[in-house]
Structure 1
Amino acid sequence: MTDFDHPTARPRLIAPSLAGLYRPLEPVGETVLRFAAGALLVTHGYGKIINPFGAAGMVESLGFYPGNLWSLLLACTEFFGGIFVAVGFLTRPASFAAMIVLLVTVYFHGVVQGEGLAGAEKSILWTAIFLFYAVRGSNRYSVDGVLGRQI
């Protein structure tokens, strides 16, 4: 059995003396990434929450009817979901919802707009980040962590 055969196994460090540095920084790095992703989603959703029905035509052009409902859901997911992810509250469902929105943007930019990978790459990266938090949840540096509960 190798070190990688166990589901929680981690590769051995080339410089084991650095473990004391890396281990305490892992939750900090996770928290910074979660906060940054959530905060950026909030800034992206701010314009939509100010005019929650403004994207109705765009979402209908993608086949989401009725446009007013989907536009409102998009605005709430980006703005409030971003706040939830940033502070680590209901992290898994908020991240899952953000991931779904971003998968649609991958399709929109990559296929509908014909921009290919160049147009979809940021959305792909964001999708991967939110997938990570949808699966992993938050850590002790979060509202979920303070409450001691996660979905």
Structure 2
Amino acid sequence: MNVHALLYPDPRRTSSIALLLVRVAAGLMLAPHGYAKLMAGPAGLAAGLAQKGMPAPTLLAWCATLSELLGGLFVALGLLTRPAAAAASFTMIVAWSTMHLADAALIGAAGGARFEYPFVLSVCFLALAIAGGGRYSLDAVLFGRKLGAGRGVD
């Protein structure tokens, strides 16, 4: 067996598999949070946003709810991956920078996950917004080469 091929596989063959894994994991981790907010009604989130001094808290609560639910599902499916991932990333950046930043001091300890979870997801979704859905996505099926599918690293 070629050790170099094992340690450094051809990204034209493996990048879309990696994107698929990250897309499905991140999307399916985020969507239930949006669903829970939708079922509870975004009023609770809106109250928390208002308490933090955020403008238009009801609008922001609905945007966060839909971004998490629909953005998570769309990313997992690889449908409109870049805009869905960008919206989800932005939502997670707002979440950790406004609601959970104080918890960053607790990274690695109890309570640190309140910061870690949205931070890691914001980075994952940002990477997907940059890279796109890859070969194994609905984007590739529906839009083909227009979105970069099949040109090597996609």
In the TM superposition, residue 106 of structure 1 has moved relative to its aligned partner by 1.8
Deviations along 1:11-52, whole A, 9 cap, x unmatched? xxx922427966534322220111110011101111112213
Report the TM-score when normalising by structure 2.
Answer: 0.77
Which of the two has greater helix per residue?
A: 2
Aligned-residue identity in percent: 33
Residue 18 in 1 paired to residue 6 in 2?
Answer: yes
Look up the SS of the partner of 2:44 in the other structure.
coil
Look up the match of 2:131. 136
In the TM superposition, residue 69 of structure 1 has moved relative to its aligned partner by 1.1
RMSD of aligned C-alpha atoms? 2.4
In the TM superposition, residue 115 of structure 1 has moved relative to its aligned partner by 4.8
Aligned residues of 2:85 and 2:125 also touching (Cα < 8 A): yes
Residue 37 in 1 paired to residue 26 in 2?
Answer: yes
Deviations along 1:66-104, whole A, 9 cap, x unmatched? 221111111100001111111011111111111111112
Aligned residues of 2:15 and 2:134 also touching (Cα < 8 A): no
Which residue of 53, 56, 67 corresponds with 1:77?
Answer: 67
Between 1:16-25 and 1:85-94, the stretch displaced more is 16-25
Q: Runs of 5+ in structure 2 lacking a partner? A: 149-154
Aligned residues of 2:96 and 2:119 also touching (Cα < 8 A): yes
Look up the match of 1:146. 141
Residue 27 in 1 paired to residue 22 in 2?
Answer: no
Look up the match of 1:110. 101
2:34 corresponds to which letter in structure 1? G
Look up the match of 2:56. 66
Aligned residues of 1:90 and 1:150 also touching (Cα < 8 A): no
Report the TM-score when normalising by structure 1.
Answer: 0.78
Q: Runs of 5+ in structure 1 lacking a partner? A: 1-13
In the TM superposition, residue 117 of structure 1 has moved relative to its aligned partner by 5.1
Q: How many equivalent residue pairs?
A: 136
The higher relative CO (CA closer than 8 Å, separation ≥ 6) is in 2
Look up the match of 1:124. 119
